[in-house]
Amino acid sequence: MDGVKKISLVIPCYNEEKNITRTLDGILEVFKSSSILAKYDFEVIAVDDGSKDATWAQIVEYAKKDNHIHGVRLMGNFGQSCGYQAGFDASTGEYVITVSADLEIPLENLAKVVELLEQGYDFVNTNRKNRWGGEKKAKSGMANKIISRVSGVCMQDRGSGMKGFSRVLVDNLKFYGDMHRFIPDYLTVYRAKMTEFDVEFKDRDFGVSAYKGSKRTIQVLLDIVTLAFMLKFARKPFTMMPGRFFGFTGAVITGFGSLGIVYLIVLKLLGYSIGDRPLLIASVLLIVVGVQLVMTGLLGELMMRTYFESSGRRTYAVRQTI
C-alpha cells in the first residue's frame, strides 16, 4: 500500500480477556465499513500490561489470524503510562490513536479522530459525555479546572481512552509515572495544535477498570504539583516548585512547622515569652527540613528524566512480541 497513510491503534490491556476480542473484532469491522478509514492502511498494537488472565492468549490468537494485529507483552504490570509508551515505541503509522480495551467509546468515532488529524491538528481528544454524576462529576470538574489553570489547556476529559496523535508528537513524547493523566498539558511544551469533541460513553460490559484505586485522588493532586514544576521547567528553566514524594513529605513537615510558628506568634501577641520555648527551635527546624525535602524532590524529578533520556533506557521491559 505504497503512498497510503498508515494509522497505528494502541490498546493498553490489563485483565481484559472478555473485552479484547470484542475490541479487536470491532476495529477490524470499522476499518472495513467506514468509507473514511478504508482509505488507510492500519496496524493494531495490543499491549498486555502484565495481565493475570487469558488476555495475552487472545491477542496471540488474533495476531496469528490477521497481520494487522500485533502484540506487545510486558513482563509485569507497569501501569497505563508504560502501556502507552510501549505501544508508541512499536508503532509505525503517521497517526497514532489510543483505544480503550473496554469499548467505553464507540469505535465509529475513530473516523472523526482521523478527519481532525488530517485537518492539521497534532492532538485530538474525546470528551465522554455523561460519564459521571453528582460528587464524582464535581471532583472531576474541579480537578480539570485546577489542571487547566496550571497548564493553560482547556480540556474537559483528560482521562478519555481515545486520543489521536500526529507522528511528530509520538516521536517526542515520553511517558513517566502517571503522565497519561496529563497528556494534553505536557503537549503544550511542543506547542501542539489540539482539539476535543464529544462522544457517547458506554459502561464496560465485563470486568472492572484496572487503572483506578482509593489513592487515586491524592496521587492526582501530587502529580498536578509535579506537572506544574515540569511545565515551568520546560518553558522557563530553573523555576522551582515542589516535586511528588519528597515534595509532599516536605510540604507536610513545613506545614507543621508553620503551625508551630503561628501558635508562638499568637502567644507573643498575648504577652507571653517565647524565646525559651523548645517549640520555637522545633518549628524552625521543621520548616528548614521541609524545604530541603522539597528541593530534594525537584532534583530527583530532573535526575530521573536525565537518566532515562541520556541512557536510552525505557521505563518498561518487553517480555515477548508477535
Under a CB-based contact definition with an 8 Å cutoff, are residues 82 and 316 in contact? yes
Count other Cβ atoms within 10 Å, centred on residue 269.
Answer: 8
Domain ranges of the chain: 6-136+155-210, 235-311
pLDDT of residue 192: 87
pLDDT of residue 308: 63
pLDDT of residue 239: 42
283 φ/ψ sector (left φ>0, alpha ψ -120 to 50, else beta): alpha
Distances (CA, A) of 27 to 63, 71, 182, 208: 13, 15, 26, 21
| Mean pLDDT split into 10-residue runs, the chain, 322 residues | 86 94 96 95 96 95 96 93 94 96 93 96 91 59 73 82 93 82 84 92 69 57 74 53 69 91 90 87 93 83 71 63 79
pLDDT of residue 238: 38
Rounded Cα distance between 186 and 150, Å, is: 11
* CATH code for residues 6-136+155-210: 3.90.550.10
